[in-house]
Amino acid sequence: MKKRITVRTDEQAAEDGKPRRMRADAQRKMTSLLQAAMEVFAKSGVDAPVREIAERAGVGLGTVYRHFPQRSDLIVAVFQTQVDACADAASEIARKYEPAEALARWMQRYVDFFATKRGLAGALHSGDPAYTALPAYFNKRLQPALKTLLDAAVAAGIVRPGIEAGDLLRAVGNLCRGVHGEEPVYARRMVALLVDGLRYGASTASKPADSIH
Amino acid sequence: MKKRITVRTDEQAAEDGKPRRMRADAQRKMTSLLQAAMEVFAKSGVDAPVREIAERAGVGLGTVYRHFPQRSDLIVAVFQTQVDACADAASEIARKYEPAEALARWMQRYVDFFATKRGLAGALHSGDPAYTALPAYFNKRLQPALKTLLDAAVAAGIVRPGIEAGDLLRAVGNLCRGVHGEEPVYARRMVALLVDGLRYGASTASKPADSIH
DNA sequence: ATAGTAATCGGAACGCTGTTCCGCTTGCAA
DNA sequence: TTGCAAGCGGAACAGCGTTCCGATTACTAT
């Protein structure tokens, strides 16, 4: 009886972080799952049933939950994939077009990305801790991408300086969400108010308990 | 056989909008339902199961759905009830305290109202048409209430003029975001800061456009 | 090539939702 | 007191996310 039983092929396992290479079919199912989820989310929103995604991907339910233990993990994965794609598109667009055109095109690309996010806003505001890290990732990837385009446009003398990439991203996001057009003015005014509250002469803030009870 | 069969006691029916007076027990169950829902929502958020509310109210599931055909109807009813209570509190507070103190106290009252709204933000951003009318009602009731307090404080020479009640409400809402329930102290402190910012002596807020661009 | 093994798969099954349905109960007007 | 429609309760239904486990399959050592 050959007794080496499963010699634990961990040769390349302990090297990097990944415990072991993924089986070929698993890899295939995973990508087709992500693709299907992307399409379904775009069509029916992020509240679409997991079964619908599994069926579209030609995959069993168990497979879905093997790769994405929670429904939210699938949503997060799709979101990150699309954010990455959008961020990566910036450098390619910058290579193909002049600064002004590149900026305009990427913004269009960004809007398209937002257009497929039906229902995600609700999930983000739901308080579910599974999504709390998403906005940070969002900024981390998209802000530098836009900043390079913006800097190039400024350097070319086409766009005025002093525009923050993050502000621009938020502005576009708000424009895509609803009709709250006066958003930036409102925010600036209220923050100015808050800063005024820090000035000398006000006492309530430092001892809030005094004005209550 | 007396054949008047249900003479349709609609005497007082066609007069007003209501088709007929509600039966006494129905009225009782309805209010106890609203009360229970308020408590459960405050404790577990608006995603709490309907069964839990029914049980707490000592009522069957059928009764819940008789009064509130959809789960969202119950949420909306509770929300409106609390908004009404908060708005009505303004006049009472204004009667008891001087303008500055009244303004501060009502703002804290408003913060407390917000603190029991765990999960509502998610529902509002979910895109569900059942909630689209809520923000409008929100402003319709709260804005005038705050405006009277604000006007009184301005008339008393304590608060600078030019502050919009709607802006303040939104600002406080944003300050309270994510602070639900466990630590309202932070929210109270920040709102106290904001209220201090309303006082005379600072100029940034009144002409925000100058400090931009 | 082949066989053995572990990784992977598929989908039935479970528990928990919102909502519907219907036989029973009850307030109220006659 | 009586008749009946308004009201009630909770079993039942449909659909969801998630778990579980026997069957399948890609890899590896021989």
Give tens-digit pLDDT for A128-180: 999 999 999 999 999 999 999 989 988 988 877 877 889 888 877 776 664 33
DSSP A22: P
Answer whether A194 sits within 8 Å of B194, measured CB to CB.
yes
What are the structure tokens assigned to B144, written together?
Answer: 């005038």
Q: Quickly give A50 CA vs D16 C1' distance in Å.
A: 9
Query: For residue A190, what is the nearest residue in chain B, using CA coordinates?
Result: B171
Spatial distance between the Cα atoms of B209 and B108, rounded to a whole number of angstroms: 29
**Residue A43: per-residue pLDDT:** 93
- Choose the closest CB to B122 out of A45, A125, A192: A125
**How many of the other CB atoms lie within 10 Å of CB of A159?**
17
The label of the residue with tokens 């233990």 reads: A69
Spatial distance between the Cα atoms of A31 and B208, rounded to a whole number of angstroms: 50
- Choose the closest CB to B125 out of A125, A186, A189: A125
What are the structure tokens assigned to A11, written together?
Answer: 């040769």
- A55 to chain B, closest Cα gap in Å: 25
Phi first, then psi, for residue B199 (nearest 5°) are -70, 165
B204 versus A2: the higher-pLDDT residue is B204
**Residue B178: per-residue pLDDT:** 65
Query: Mutating which of B118, B196, B212 best tests the A interface, going by the most A Cβ atoms within 10 A?
Result: B196
3-state secondary structure of B81: helix
- Choose the closest CB to A122 out of B118, B126, B211: B126
Spatial distance between the Cα atoms of B145 and A60, rounded to a whole number of angstroms: 56
Q: Quickly give B59 CA vs C21 C1' distance in Å.
A: 17
- Choose the closest CB to B170 out of A119, A186, A203: A186
Answer whether B201 sits within 8 Å of A201, measured CB to CB.
yes
Spatial distance between the Cα atoms of B61 and A43, rounded to a whole number of angstroms: 34
CA dihedral B59, B61, B64, B70 (to 10 degrees): 160
| Residue A137: exposure state from Cβ atoms within 10 A (0-12, 13-18, ≥19) | middle
The label of the residue with tokens 């960004």 reads: A110
Cβ contacts, strand D, under 7 angstroms: A 2, 4, 7, 9, 21, 23-25, 47-51, 61-62, 65, 69-72; B 5-6, 20, 22-23, 25-26, 28-29, 58-63, 65-67
Q: Walk along chain B (213 residues) and give the pLDDT tens digit of each residue.
A: 333 333 333 333 334 444 568 899 999 999 999 999 999 999 999 999 999 999 999 999 999 999 999 999 999 999 999 999 999 999 999 999 999 999 999 999 999 998 888 889 899 988 899 999 999 999 999 999 999 999 999 999 999 899 999 999 999 888 887 666 556 788 888 888 888 888 875 544 444 333 323
Which residues in chain A are closer than 8 Å to B211, comparing Cβ atoms? 188, 192
Q: Quickly give B38 CA vs D8 C1' distance in Å.
A: 22
Amino acid at A81: T
Q: For residue A192, is pLDDT > 80? A: no
Amino acid at A105: R
Distances (CA, A) of A102 to A75, A93, B9, B118, B202: 29, 6, 73, 42, 43
Closest protein residue to C29 (Cα–C1'): B9
Query: For residue A194, what is the nearest residue in chain B, using CA coordinates?
Result: B194
